[in-house]
Structure 1
Amino acid sequence: MQETRQAARQRRRRRRLMVGTTTGLVVTGLLVCLAITMRPDGKEDAARAAATAVANAEETSSPSPPGKTSPTPSPSASASPKAKKPEPKKSKSEKPKGAASPSQTSSGASSQKVPGTSSLAGRIRGSVTYPGVATVYEAGVGDGACSFGPSSDMMIAAMNTTDYETSKACGDYILVRAANGNSVTVRITNECPLPCAPGQLDLSEQAFAKLAPISTGRIGITWSLVSPSSVGTISIRYKNGSSPYWCGIQAIGHRNPLARLEVSTGGGWRQLTRTDYNYFLSPDGTGCGKAIRLTDIYGERLTVNGIAVRPDVVQSTGVQFARH
């Protein structure tokens, strides 16, 4: 009986030892697993995984600074195209004020506007009022430096040398106004040399008398370029001595200041040089007896055919510049 009790106690002891051993093994296994998990390589892997997760999160949504909201993304050009602006309507070309339409006359002359021409004027320009003084001189028959010859109308004047500008003022029509309200329109046929100052006009006695008594001698004035209606047509005159090998050409009776005189060369146009005695010269005979082209300071161009080389003969063209 006693042996039986001892055997039972031994069996119980062995079970406890086995349970303890098993428990120890389990605990030991757990500790080993924990040690493996906490290896340095494991820390690096965990840190790398965490960094990747943070980076992915930042790409998905960037946090806004404190107190600021995320800006609304702008629409792309393809997502929201700009509306196409309607093109402005092209205006119809208009005829320049005062310019004649291209035309052909029975004498073979034509008129047209020079395209894109800026002002061809010299010192004297349209729509400008110039201050000056008027003096008086005995004009005789009215001939002068412009070489027009005797004047049937003695409403003429000599332009000061500065504004005469190597005969550019020849043939200009000038409206002269005095302080007393009187006025007169004169044509420039002569040059007033120094001491005539810029702005000064030396009027014929007949013209000066329209403004003040001749005995006054000198008065303050203003003057401006005009384009009168009471003029005829332009004429052409070849200078004495002209031939097919040398010629001088003069235009007479032009309503507006003459800016250019050109002659046909067969393959184009040649601009001739203007002298201080108001003839345009062709020293080698180019264009003498051929078509002539006249251009005023407003850009209107007249082409004249059929004018022969007839020295000192006034030949009518049948054409005239438009009024301005």
Structure 2
Amino acid sequence: MASPSHRRPRGKRRGLLVPAVAVATAGLLISLVVALTGDGGSDTVRAASASASAATGSGAGARPSASSTATGRTPQAEPSTASPSAPKPSATTASARPSRGGAPTAAPRPASGGAPLAGRIKPGTAYSGVATHYDAGDGDGACLYGPSADRMTAAMNTTDYETSKACGAYVLVRASGGASVTVRITNECPAPCAPGQLDLSREAFAELAGLSAGRIQVTWSLLSPGTSGTLSIRYKTGSSSHWCGIQAIGHRNPLARLEVATGSGWQRLARTEYNHFLSPDGTGCGGALRLTDIYGQRLTVDGVAVRPDVVQPTGVQFARH
């Protein structure tokens, strides 16, 4: 209901006729001016119209449009919150809320630049050290990937190994003479291995120099290989719905995080020195998993059952860098 101060007493309504006549006269004069001034008058009318709008408050409180507040930066996509969908074998960057049941999934999103989650070993950096060699046996090592026919492997010194963060990383090693070889980190080389040192399998060392050399100077750098394989998941011996250790195998890029789905989101698991991610109370065991590499790419995999010591392919892989 209007305020009493805005109401006019009935006895004073006749007094409104004079202002009305004045307003009509002013309107007639404005019309004549517009007719005489042509186009220039249109600006005057628009200005008057704008003033009238301001006076009536029609534009008051309006928020700036999105274009008026743009900074010129290209917006970056936020992680998707959609439930996992069908798997895609190509490398992806993704984020998804956990869902129950279903096939392995990988919701794609463009990879961001740099490697924000890298540890001591960073892409685009050349490291210097020495290369030695050892008998890799059946190809297994501290990373516990198991026996492998691929002997192009190496053990990383403890400092750069970083409690298994280096496990699965591909490294391009170059000798001073120009020879090179690509190896995958599957083992740890404890002291006296110094920072920067690589203990290569005999087969890998032979690609750089004769085994009799024993010790050579090398430079090495992180590599994101053009593998066509996809990563797999394996639960550790003794895993159940009450306790489990989870391992990712065959990832193209170093793995930075592994998370499990919970009722309220994702829970990050701690990584052990033997390259497993542990859920001590069984949280997430057998549920959806989210894997993140050092570049920030995320892969979401659902439906990997708790089957200890069984390598379960996922059909997904990180993008190449």
TM-score, structure 1 as length reference: 0.68
Distance 2:114 2:261 in 1: 20
Q: Which deviations, in whole Å up to 9, do the C-alpha atoms of 1:153-180 show, x marking residues without a partner?
A: 1000000000001000000000000000
| Matched-pair contact (CA < 8 Å) for 2:92–2:111 | no
Residues 275, 90 of structure 1: CA spacing in aligned structure 2 closer, same or farther, 3 A cutoff? Answer: same
Distance 2:133 2:93 in 1: 41
Give the counterpart letter for 2:92 in structure 1.
A
Which consecutive aligned stretches of 4+ in structure 1 deviate over 4 angstroms post-superposition? 86-89, 101-106, 113-118
SS in 1 for 2:124: coil
Q: Percent of aligned positions with the same letter in both sequences?
A: 68
The alignment of Structure 1 onto Structure 2 pairs a total of residues equal to 238
| Matched-pair contact (CA < 8 Å) for 1:136–1:204 | yes
Give the counterpart letter for 1:90 in structure 2.
G
Distance 1:280 1:106 in 2: 22
User: What is aligned with 1:277?
Assistant: 274
The Cα of 1:266 is off from its aligned counterpart by 1.8
Distance 2:112 2:220 in 1: 30
Distance 1:106 1:305 in 2: 6
- Which of the numbers 148, 158, 169 marks the counterpart of 1:151? 148
The Cα of 1:148 is off from its aligned counterpart by 0.2
Distance 1:257 1:148 in 2: 14
The Cα of 1:231 is off from its aligned counterpart by 4.1
- Which of the numbers 190, 201, 204 marks the counterpart of 1:204? 201
Distance 1:164 1:136 in 2: 17
- CA RMSD of the aligned region, Å? 2.6
User: What is aligned with 2:133?
Assistant: 136
Can you give the 5+ residue segments of structure 1 that lack an aligned partner in the other structure? 1-85
| Matched-pair contact (CA < 8 Å) for 2:103–2:303 | no
Q: Does 1:183 align with 2:165?
A: no
Distance 2:261 2:69 in 1: 43
Say which one has the larger Rg.
1
| Matched-pair contact (CA < 8 Å) for 2:113–2:295 | no
| Matched-pair contact (CA < 8 Å) for 1:239–1:247 | yes
User: What is aligned with 1:171?
Assistant: 168
SS in 2 for 1:162: helix
Can you give the 5+ residue segments of structure 2 that lack an aligned partner in the other structure? 1-67, 78-89, 97-101
User: What is aligned with 1:90?
Assistant: 72
Q: Which deviations, in whole Å up to 9, do the C-alpha atoms of 1:12-61 show, x marking residues without a partner?
A: xxxxxxxxxxxxxxxxxxxxxxxxxxxxxxxxxxxxxxxxxxxxxxxxxx
Q: Which deviations, in whole Å up to 9, do the C-alpha atoms of 1:78-122 show, x marking residues without a partner?
A: xxxxxxxx9876344478xx9836599963333446889971111
SS in 1 for 2:219: strand
Distance 2:280 2:95 in 1: 31
Distance 1:124 1:144 in 2: 20
Give the counterpart letter for 2:273 in structure 1.
D
User: What is aligned with 1:321?
Assistant: 318
User: What is aligned with 2:261?
Assistant: 264
Distance 2:279 2:103 in 1: 27
Q: Does 1:100 align with 2:92?
A: yes
| Matched-pair contact (CA < 8 Å) for 1:289–1:308 | yes
Q: Which has the higher contact order (CA 8 A, sep 6+)?
A: 2
The Cα of 1:227 is off from its aligned counterpart by 0.3
Distance 1:102 1:225 in 2: 23
User: What is aligned with 1:49?
Assistant: none
User: What is aligned with 2:218?
Assistant: 221
Distance 1:164 1:113 in 2: 29
